[in-house]
Amino acid sequence: MRQRSRLRNAAEYAAARFLLATLALLPFSAALSLAKRYVGLLDRLAPKLRRTAFRNLEYAWPDLPQERREQIVNGVFTSIARLLAVMARFPRIHTANVGQWIRYEGFHHFEEALLRGKGVLFATAHLGNWELSAFAHALMAAPMHVVTRPLDNPLLEDLAVEYRSLSGNTIIGKKDFVRGILRALHSNQAVGILIDQNAGLDDGVFVDFFGHKASTSPSFAKLAARTGATIIPGYAVWHEDEGRYVLHFDTPIAMSGDALVDTQRLQSHLESVIRRYPDQWLWIHRRWKTRPAGEDPVY
């Protein structure tokens, strides 16, 4: 990978600090409007993101009318703007006011899992507000561990860790994540892992996702088999009627011990959730980039 310049790192960091500061200063409605402008600028400067979203929808959901696809893609950018506007407020969100931003649904699944004593693996995704879901869980229940891929810009990585840790969570980098996860589960704690990204040829297995083979990491399923942890799908989606997010904990998914079978179960459940909230999933990610041998590229 080409080495990044210090100037570029500093410029990106300054821009991120400016964005968070301006969003934090305004009332939420005004902050959301400004966040939409920021995301709209990103949309114009990086048109490939919108093209990728449309290509994904054409590939994965071919029977959708074009008008509906446009609604979903526009909704994705609105969802990102909402995430940014809320994340900018992390330093001011605490146990006394977190309920204004999010509530639980299915919390009993987490309570019952803790009684088993083998820890909890949250199967989550870039759906709704994945940053707030972990942040708020630490305030409403208990701090947890979050597995993340370190950002290419070390200054932005430090900033992300700073915000993600404000509520007491521990960040586990993917470079040495197994040891940290095993330690947390052994202590009957919770670990959140994103399971919706393209995994590549070397690290992934192909499972069905929206009717097409998608390269997916089997690490989550292997960890589940190794530890016996309870697997709970968890995601925070925006509910317009309430004006806040709902952190859904779905019924735990039973694991068979077969990594391929279990990875398919996880992806099938995730697909069902995305179909319910399509405008809140990150369709701009090239989920089907890696193809099985002999298949034409999607993008």
The predicted structure's pLDDT at residue 218: 97
d(CA 191, CA 108): 17
Tokens read off for 137: 């869980």
Q: Taking the chain, what is the end-to-end CA distance rounded to the nearest angstrom?
A: 22
Closest CA to 240 of 59, 79, 45: 79
Tokens read off for 122: 């949250």
Residue 90 DSSP symbol: G
pLDDT in tens, the chain (299 residues): 568 899 999 999 999 999 999 999 999 999 999 999 999 999 999 999 999 999 999 999 999 999 999 999 999 999 999 999 999 999 999 999 999 999 999 999 999 999 999 999 999 999 999 999 999 999 999 999 999 999 999 999 999 999 999 999 999 987 778 999 999 999 999 999 999 999 999 999 999 999 999 999 999 999 999 999 999 999 999 999 999 999 999 999 999 999 999 999 999 999 999 999 999 999 999 999 999 999 999 99
Backbone angles phi, psi at 216, to 5 degrees: -135, 140
Helices and strands (H, E) in the chain, number of each type: 11, 9
The predicted structure's pLDDT at residue 3: 81
The CA dihedral of 121, 254, 220, 169, to the nearest 10 degrees, is: -10
The predicted structure's pLDDT at residue 109: 98
